[in-house]
Amino acid sequence: MLPRSKEHLLLRYEFQGDRSGLGEFMFLHDHVWFMGQVRKALDFWLGIRRGNCVSWNEKWKCNFCKFNNCSQAIKPNTEE
């Protein structure tokens, strides 16, 4: 089991080719929220729940996901 996370976490983006840094972000860590997000993801991956719809802007990501047969995109509201 991993030790409990600190109050602040550092998120680091790296280029996979040479592991050069692309950016770093420091943010507050909420253990309860984080564990809820992990549980939600695990429930999906283990087949306990169905996937959620993605936003229309995020639909392109479905082309790279092995779970793309489960997802749908929410079309933007064009009525004004």
Q: How many domains does the chain have?
A: 2
d(Cα 62, Cα 65) in Å, to the nearest integer?
Answer: 5
Asked if residue 69 is part of any domain, the answer here is yes
Same structural domain, 20 and 41: yes
Query: Tens digit of pLDDT for each residue in 48-80?
Result: 988 777 788 888 877 777 766 655 656 666 554
User: 68 lies in which domain range?
Assistant: 51-80
Q: Is 22 in a helix, a strand, or coil?
A: strand
d(Cα 22, Cα 64) in Å, to the nearest integer?
Answer: 21
Confidence (pLDDT) at 80: 46
Asked if residue 42 is part of any domain, the answer here is yes
Confidence (pLDDT) at 20: 93
Same structural domain, 57 and 38: no
